[in-house]
Amino acid sequence: MTTHTIAVVGSGYMGGGIAQVLALSGATVRIADISEEIARKNYDRLIAEAEQFVADGLFPADAVERIRANVSPAASIEEAVTGADFIEEAVPEKIEIKHETLRRISAAASPDAIIGSNTSTILIGSLAEAVTNPERFLGVHFSNPAPFIPGVELIPHETTADAAIATVEEIVAATGKETARVKDATGFVLNRLQYALFHEATQLVEEGVATPEDIDTIVRTTFGFRLPVFGPFAIADMAGLDVYSFCYASLQTRWPERFATPDSLKELVDAGKFGTKSGAGYLDVPADRTPELIAYRNKAYVAIKQLMDELGPAPIN
């Protein structure tokens, strides 16, 4: 496995968390911010956080020593990126700040150093305008809190080189996280789905259907309970795409446009592809694997419930 030298530019809460997980994977990490003083303060903070994470059993026992050995604060962005083979930009979510930062990174970094942006909302193609050799640039979107959320969106733009994507996949895999490639589209995948759910939840509150507390209870104890194990397409395939079609028809009696049946769903149902029970659906899981899948599902749900019971209720109220 290649040992990477990585710069994280923007050492706040997200950047610091990214630096921690990269350092724990064995990478050499330099962090930078708008000044050396801030970078050093944030370095001290991420070390203190790591100490607490160890005490809480969230990081391995030797995590603090490994982070101290692998992370260092740099005097400037230019110093941090010099000699780095991968650079992750994690500055505030304003395009003018990111453009300025990316220009500085491009000017000081090796011309073949891969550059990633942790943006969650700004189109990667727009950010690439500030990058020299933009074929080495892509979105590398960690989620908050970075040390503990396992998924990372990878968002290439039109000219991102395949080799750059593959290298970033290797770097992220070394941290134990899981990547998914998505196209450069407004909201990417994570936030488009997240905000679609939030929008519908606020509609329910505003219509007086349920309180925020009861909606949160329903989400986390029903369909949200499935989501650590299965995504929406696997859930639909197991439920039956014909069932989904009937449910859409019911919702359309009140909201014909808002809940119009997706074209892809209609095409599958019309073709007799109802999901796992027919051996073909969105994911084409063979019908003979259904018993194995159901057994796995049930085991997973019982394990999740046991974990939630062990943790107890979240300290919200």
The Cα–Cα gap between 18 and 144 comes to 10
Q: Hey, is 138 helix, strand or coil?
A: strand
Q: Output the known binding site.
A: 10-15, 33, 93, 98, 120, 144, 277
Q: Hey, is 38 helix, strand or coil?
A: helix
Tokens found for residue 135: 């074929």
Cα angle at 118 between 173 and 178, to 5 degrees? 20
Cβ burial 175-185 (10 Å sphere, 16+ → b, else e): bebebeebebe
Tokens found for residue 80: 């941090």
H/E element, 238: helix 232-239
Are the beta carbons of 20 and 92 closer than 8 angstroms? no
Q: Hey, is 44 helix, strand or coil?
A: helix
Are the beta carbons of 9 and 90 closer than 8 angstroms? yes
Closest CA to 29 of 89, 70, 77, 82: 70
Cα angle at 307 between 305 and 309, to 5 degrees? 70
Phi, psi of 88 (to 5 degrees): -110, 115
The Cα–Cα gap between 269 and 263 comes to 10
Count of positions (residues) in the chain: 317
Q: Output the known binding site for NAD(+).
A: 10-15, 33, 93, 98, 120, 144, 277
Chain-centre distance of CA 288, in angstroms?
33
